[in-house]
Structures are given as structure tokens and as C-alpha cells.
């Protein structure tokens, strides 16, 4: 498929391009990065095959952004529903922030395909903010869960916070890296070669800690519940947390070793999407579980009430009741 035509970094980003570039905030801007999708396609007027190639790559990105936008909108709805009832649920706040960042990015990226829409560079800058915010939100959620299941271990909490602090370094590299429109791939970020390894150095320690923390919980649950441990892990959300950690590790390694060449940068977005989906699924499952716990109680109470039958009023009892009421009425009249 033409979308996966390998992109040679050196052939696309010629040496010395900074000399003729415009600067913003001291950052050089490549001319191809200042184009939006419409301008990029129209730039190839007169070459129908080239226009088709450019349009095809942009359409693929557009459909991916639609799916991501739907996922973010779903997570926003779930988070808001939870926060309306429980405003102190930290995981819901993290999911909401992550989803808002994702929705902002997808709207900006899709509007790039409209006349006068944002340029490739601006769309990637917004994505950079989201790619920085997402691991922080996910890390906070994982850290809170690990902190609670390990009996509020303060050392674990402090180490986790310290390891999450350098995450904004990724945003710095996104901002200073040139963005270009490439015919076979659309909008791409030509990041420095050291960025994948910096990302690996940032993510590996915290993921190792989370892995050890949750594997310890899995082992503990297995010793307590045996084969029924998996059900307990699902109920507590540990299963989802383990999958999130695994997703982070896989995407991190794919970026570091550039398994897809320059296209490996899409694993930043894939990790964002996967963790968003898992976090939303976790919140939705926890919400449904809380509702399920309440529903049987109400149903059983109503069911028990329906079994209560009124005592039959016998003829003798009815006569005695009428006589008693008549005597009370007579006494009242005499008193008046």
C-alpha cells in the first residue's frame, strides 16, 4: 500500500534547510510544515497520480482521527457521569483530561482538511501537548491504584511522582522538531534520533515499577483465591491496569527501536488511543459494577414487600372493630 512507502529522513529533510526557514519563538519552521491538507494536495496540481497519493494518505489519517474522536467523546461522557455523583474520583478526572486533550487534537487535525484550517505544524503541536498529558494522566491513575493495593505505601507514591515529573520533556522535543507534509504519509514529525531513547528512559523505570507492583498483587490474589483470582482482579480493575502497563511497554519499545521506520512515531498516538480506550473501559466497568451492587438490593426489597399479605378481617373481628369505633364516636359526642 502506498501509505507505507518508506520515508528517508535525509532525502525529505535536506541539509541546511534552517537557513531559508521562518522562525517562531526561535524555532525554525519548514515550509512544508506550514501547509494544511488542502494546500498540500493542491500543491501537486497537474500531477494526478501525486494528488491521489497525497489525498489517500490524508484520508487514512482523517478516518483514524474520526475513530479517536469518537473514543474521546465516549470517555468524556463516562467521566462526566461519574464526576457528577463522585467528584473525588481521581481516575475519572484523569480520563476526562486525557479525553479532552484527544478531542482537541482530533478536531484540530480534521479541521486541517478544510480551507484555511490549521497547518501540519500546529496540529502536531497540539498532539504534542496531548502525548505529554496522556502518559501523565495514565501514570497518575496507575500510581493511585498501586498505592492503594499496596496499603498506601508512601515510598511507592514518592518514587512514582518523581518518575512522572520528566514527562514534559517529550513536549519540548515535539516543539523544536520540524513538521513536514509527506506525500506517502501526510503530516509527519521529524524528531531527533535521540527522542525514542529519551522516551524509553522516561517510561521504562515507571513501567517496571508498575509491573512489579501489579504482578505482586496478582500473585497475592492467586494465593488467596486460587483459580478464582482472575475474577477478583477483574473486579478490582487490576486486570485493566496490567494491560495498560503492557501497552505502554510495547509501544515504548516499538518507538525506541523504530520498528516501522519514521512511521514509528505513530506509536505515540497508538499508545494514547489504547490507554484511553482501556481507561474508559475501566471507568465504565467500575460504574456498572456499582450500579449492579445497588440494583439487587432494591429488587429484593420490593420482592419481599410483595410477599407481605394483609391479615384477613374475620366477621367477628370486623364486628368488634365496628363496635369499638361506635363507642369511641359516642364518647366523643358526650364529651362535646
Q: Where does the pLDDT of residue 227 fall: very low under 50, low under 70, confident under 90, or very high at 90 and above?
A: low
Strand partners, 170: none
Any idea what DSSP says for residue 310? Answer: P
What CATH number corresponds to the domain at position 198?
A: 1.20.1070.10
Mean pLDDT for 51-60 is 83
Q: Where does the pLDDT of residue 69 fall: very low under 50, low under 70, confident under 90, or very high at 90 and above?
A: very high
- Beta-carbon contacts of 75 under 8 Å, excluding residues fewer than 6 positions away, are 95, 96, 98, 99, 102, 276, 279, 280, 283
Whether pLDDT at 201 is above 50: yes
Q: Classify 40 as helix, strand or coil.
A: helix
Whether pLDDT at 123 is above 80: yes
Considering the domain boundaries, does residue 153 fall inside one?
yes
Residue 76 and residue 279 in contact, taking contact as beta carbons nearer than 8 Å = no
Q: Where does the pLDDT of residue 163 fall: very low under 50, low under 70, confident under 90, or very high at 90 and above?
A: very high
Mean pLDDT for 113-118 is 83
Q: Where does the pLDDT of residue 2 fall: very low under 50, low under 70, confident under 90, or very high at 90 and above?
A: very low
Of residues 271, 127, 124, 126, the one with CA closest to residue 200: 271
Q: What is the pLDDT of residue 155?
A: 92
Mean pLDDT for 231-244 is 72
Q: Where does the pLDDT of residue 284 fall: very low under 50, low under 70, confident under 90, or very high at 90 and above?
A: confident
Considering the domain boundaries, does residue 276 fall inside one?
yes
Q: What is the pLDDT of residue 336?
A: 42
- Phi first, then psi, for residue 186 (nearest 5°) are 80, -135
Q: Classify 220 as helix, strand or coil.
A: helix
R_g over Cα of the chain: 30
Q: What is the pLDDT of residue 228?
A: 65
Q: Where does the pLDDT of residue 320 fall: very low under 50, low under 70, confident under 90, or very high at 90 and above?
A: low
Considering the domain boundaries, does residue 306 fall inside one?
no
Q: Compute the distance between CA of residue 329 and CA of residue 336 in angstroms, rounded to an integer.
A: 11
Structural domain harbouring 98: 31-288
Residue 257 and residue 189 in contact, taking contact as beta carbons nearer than 8 Å = no
Total count of domains within the chain:
1
Q: Which ranges constitute the DSSP H helices of the chain?
A: 9-12, 37-42, 48-85, 90-111, 120-149, 154-164, 169-176, 195-225, 229-236, 238-256, 266-307, 315-335
Mean pLDDT for 229-246 is 73
Q: What is the dihedral of CA 133, 135, 136, 138, to 10 degrees?
A: 120
Q: Classify 265 as helix, strand or coil.
A: helix
Considering the domain boundaries, does residue 293 fall inside one?
no
Q: What is the pLDDT of residue 1?
A: 39
> Directed axis angle between helix 266-307 and helix 238-256, to 10°?
170
Give 91-103 as a DSSP string.
Answer: HHHHHHHHHHHHH
Identify the residue whose cell numbers are 512544508.
32
Burial 275-312 (b: 16+ CB within 10 A, else e): bbbbbbbbbbebbeeeeeeeeeeeeeeeeeeeeeeeee
Q: Grid coordinates standing for 112? A: 486541517
Q: How many CB atoms lie within 10 A of CB 80?
A: 13
Q: Compute the distance between CA of residue 328 and CA of residue 311 in angstroms, rounded to an integer.
A: 24
Q: What is the pLDDT of residue 98?
A: 93
Distance of alpha carbon 150 from its chain centroid, rounded?
Answer: 24
Considering the domain boundaries, does residue 6 fall inside one?
no
Q: Compute the distance between CA of residue 336 and CA of residue 332 in angstroms, rounded to an integer.
A: 6
Question: CA angle, corner 77, sides to 74 and 78, nearest 5?
Answer: 85
Mean pLDDT for 59-83 is 90
Considering the domain boundaries, does residue 7 fall inside one?
no
Considering the domain boundaries, does residue 237 fall inside one?
yes
Better pLDDT: 197 or 335? 197
Considering the domain boundaries, does residue 330 fall inside one?
no
Amino acid at each position: 500500500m502506498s501509505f507505507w512507502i518508506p520515508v528517508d529522513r535525509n532525502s525529505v529533510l535536506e541539509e541546511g534547510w534552517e537557513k531559508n526557514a521562518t522562525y517562531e519563538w526561535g524555532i525554525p519552521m519548514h515550509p512544508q510544515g506550514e501547509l494544511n491538507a488542502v494546500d498540500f494536495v493542491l500543491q501537486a496540481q497537474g500531477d494526478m497520480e501525486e494528488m491521489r497519493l497525497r489525498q489517500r494518505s490524508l484520508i487514512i489519517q482523517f478516518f483514524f482521527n474520526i475513530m479517536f474522536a469518537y473514543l474521546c467523546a465516549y470517555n468524556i461522557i463516562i467521566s462526566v457521569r461519574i464526576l457528577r455523583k463522585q467528584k473525588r474520583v481521581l481516575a475519572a478526572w484523569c480520563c476526562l483530561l486525557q479525553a479532552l486533550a484527544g478531542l482537541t487534537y482530533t478536531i484540530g487535525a480534521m479541521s486541517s482538511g478544510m480551507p484555511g484550517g490549521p497547518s501540519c505544524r500546529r496540529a502536531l503541536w497540539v498532539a504534542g501537548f496531548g502525548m505529554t498529558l496522556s502518559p501523565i494522566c495514565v501514570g497518575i491513575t496507575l500510581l493511585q491504584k498501586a498505592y492503594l493495593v499496596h496499603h498506601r505505601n508512601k515510598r511507592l507514591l514518592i518514587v512514582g511522582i518523581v518518575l512522572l515529573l520528566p514527562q514534559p520533556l517529550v513536549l519540548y522535543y515535539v516543539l523544536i522538531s520540524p513538521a513536514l507534509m509527506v506525500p506517502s504519509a501526510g503530516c509527519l514529525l521529524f524528531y531527533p534520533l535521540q527522542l525514542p531513547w529519551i522516551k524509553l528512559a522516561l517510561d521504562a523505570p515507571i513501567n517496571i515499577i508498575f509491573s512489579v507492583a501489579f504482578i505482586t498483587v496478582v500473585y497475592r490474589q492467586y494465593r488467596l483465591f486460587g483459580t478464582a483470582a482472575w475474577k477478583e482482579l477483574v473486579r478490582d480493575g487490576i486486570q485493566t491496569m496490567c494491560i495498560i502497563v503492557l501497552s505502554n511497554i510495547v509501544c515504548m519499545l516499538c518507538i525506541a527501536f523504530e520498528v516501522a521506520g519514521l512511521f514509528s512515531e505513530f506509536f505515540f498516538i497508538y499508545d494514547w488511543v489504547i490507554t484511553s480506550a482501556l481507561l474508559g473501559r475501566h471507568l465504565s466497568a467500575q460504574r456498572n459494577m456499582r450500579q449492579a451492587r445497588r440494583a439487587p438490593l432494591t429488587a429484593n426489597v420490593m420482592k419481599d414487600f410483595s410477599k407481605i399479605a394483609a391479615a384477613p378481617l374475620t366477621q367477628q373481628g370486623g364486628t368488634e372493630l365496628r363496635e369499638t369505633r361506635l363507642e369511641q364516636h359516642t364518647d366523643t359526642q358526650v364529651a362535646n
